[in-house]
Amino acid sequence: MPDLRAGERQWSVTPGCNLLDALNDAGLSVPYSCRAGSCHACLVRCTHGEPLDLLPEALNAVQREQGWRLACQCRVMDNLSVEVFDPLRDGTPARVSGCDWLSPSVLRLRLEPQRGLRYRAGQHLVLWTANGVARPYSLASLPGEDGFLEFHIDCIRPGAFADVARTLKPGDAIGLGELRGGALYYDPDWQDRPLWLFASGTGLGPLWGVLREALRQGHQAPIRLIHLAREHYLAAPLQALAARHAQLQVELMDPQAFQTALSGLRLTSRQTIALVCGAPEAVEGFSRRLFIAGLPRGQLLADVFLEKA
């Protein structure tokens, strides 16, 4: 049986066992959210030995060269020593600079990192609480313009991170883990192409950043933003933005009208670029309707928000 070592602890495990399960069964409390290699909360660094990695493409070449692996995607075949990701040692420390409610269920969290962080609108960042809870969230801030990192946290349901987020106050410490690309971004080459932005719930967060990036880049073609939600928590800022930019059309859609509205969607141009973000069923429904309407698949970028435990 192979031996697994983490810090000062060493124990024998069953050959082929999942590395994340082996670490957590031993009480190491490695965080995770998706178990699918997407959230990257379960990063560990292999210091001796090599696990069987079922999803090597999930990390870039530099990360792999440094020994980083996603524990949820690895199986322990031989003796292995690992270091669990430590946000104080391996990440970027940050402080809460603002914490306020945009609606009864959406919390706006603003952070100030202790050192500069280069990112683009629409990217994801793993956030670590002081008690070791880690979850990935999309950035809603605009790099180079907003002087903080902003996140929109859906607190309508209990969750390990959301429960802590409700208690945060300015000055509290937050660890910043891995910055990830995400599917959503704005390309300046799209300036003359119609841009559709569809968000459900807090999927509006990253698209709020992407929208402002498009306007900052001087997007000339029409922009249509649809927000599907019971609480349109950015209604006033969106409408103010539309009042200043003639090419921007904002539609606030109630979930009860979703299917009816979908059936009426028509493309004005096959050159349209669509960015879709939010809950799986909403992303799937909107994407399917766009494909039926004739949108080429390569012109739709989608980011699905999985429910965070």
Distance, in Å, from the CA atom of 73 to the CA atom of 37, rounded to the nearest integer, reads 6
pLDDT given at position 182: 74
Mean pLDDT along residues 89-96: 90
Collect all residues with Cβ–Cβ distance below 8 Å to 160 and sequence separation of at least 6.
Answer: 133, 135, 308, 309
- List, for residues 102-153, the tens digit of each pLDDT value: 999 999 999 999 988 899 999 999 999 988 888 889 999 999 999 999 999 9
pLDDT given at position 32: 80
The band of 40, judged by pLDDT with boundaries at 50, 70 and 90, is: confident
Q: Between 283 and 307, where is the model more confident?
A: 283
List Cα–Cα distances, 279 to 28, 72, 223, 262, 305, in angstroms: 31, 23, 22, 16, 5
Cβ–Cβ < 8 Å for 136, 124: yes
Mean pLDDT along residues 170-181: 88
Distance, in Å, from the CA atom of 77 to the CA atom of 110, rounded to the nearest integer, reads 42
Mean pLDDT along residues 292-299: 94
- Determine how many CB atoms are found less than 10 A away from the CB of residue 134: 25
Look up residue 2 and give its two tokens: 């192979």
Residue 29 pLDDT more than 90? no
Mean pLDDT along residues 169-177: 94
Residue 308 pLDDT more than 70? no
pLDDT given at position 104: 96
Distance, in Å, from the CA atom of 178 to the CA atom of 129, rounded to the nearest integer, reads 14
Estimate to the nearest angstrom the gap between the alpha carbon of 112 and the chain centroid: 18
Percentage of the chain surpassing pLDDT 90?
75
Residue 309 pLDDT more than 60? no
- List, for residues 241-283, the tens digit of each pLDDT value: 999 999 999 999 998 888 888 888 888 899 999 999 999 999 9
Enumerate domains of the chain plus CATH numbers.
Answer: 3-85 (3.10.20.30), 88-180 (2.40.30.10), 188-304 (3.40.50.80)
Mean pLDDT along residues 61-84: 95
- In the three-class reduction of DSSP (H, G, I as helix; E, B as strand; rest coil), residue 58 is classed as helix
pTM of the predicted model over 0.75:
yes
List Cα–Cα distances, 273 to 216, 235, 297, 302, in angstroms: 17, 23, 10, 11
pLDDT given at position 307: 66
